[in-house]
Amino acid sequence: LGLLQFSRGRGEARQCSFRASTPEATLLKEGRCIDSFCYSWLLSAICTEIHNALAISLQTQDIGEIAQKVQSLPKVNKNRQRIVVFTQGKDDTVATVGDNVTSFPVLDIDQNDIVDTNGAGDAFVGGFLSELVQEKPLEQCIRAGHYAANVIIRRAGCTFPEKPAFQ
């Protein structure tokens, strides 16, 4: 948080994203990480780890409501709307932009085709950002994230086929 405040204090127009996973969940449970959200325009979280921590801090168990509450937290840079994305493994991905909370079903996969889930969350974020930087709609960003995660979990280690087939 100090580094983020320092960057802002120098008058630099900084954009920041926050990728939350297990270590951050511990900080959230202790109430020490939410303050940094004011500098974040993109919050991406693996829901199983973050949900319980945010549920305690925000006093609700409903994932859509948690996403809305995180979306509405104070934000320093008012020029860019915050995007909140919660992945939930095989369950729908929940995303908010503005007042809208939307659920996106993940790609169907036979459980026997899952080889290794390590890196699936990072692959999701990579796919999501690959479309976001091209200013694609949220639905397309989520689709790309789901595709990337789906490819990763079918392979040993964090590897992609030589020629991905995302359209």
125's CB contacts (< 8 A; 6+ apart) are 19, 44, 145
Residue located via tokens 């405040």: 5
- Could you give the angle at the alpha carbon of 64 between the alpha carbons of 63 and 68, nearest 5°? 115
- Could you give the angle at the alpha carbon of 44 between the alpha carbons of 126 and 149, nearest 5°? 40
List, in sequence order, the alpha helices (H) in the chain.
Answer: 2-9, 22-29, 47-58, 63-71, 120-132, 138-152
Annotated catalytic, 62? no
For 100-134, give the DSSP string.
Answer: EEEEEPPPP--GGG----TTHHHHHHHHHHHHHTT
Alpha carbons within 13 A on the beta-carbon side of 166: 24
- Residues with a known catalytic role: 122
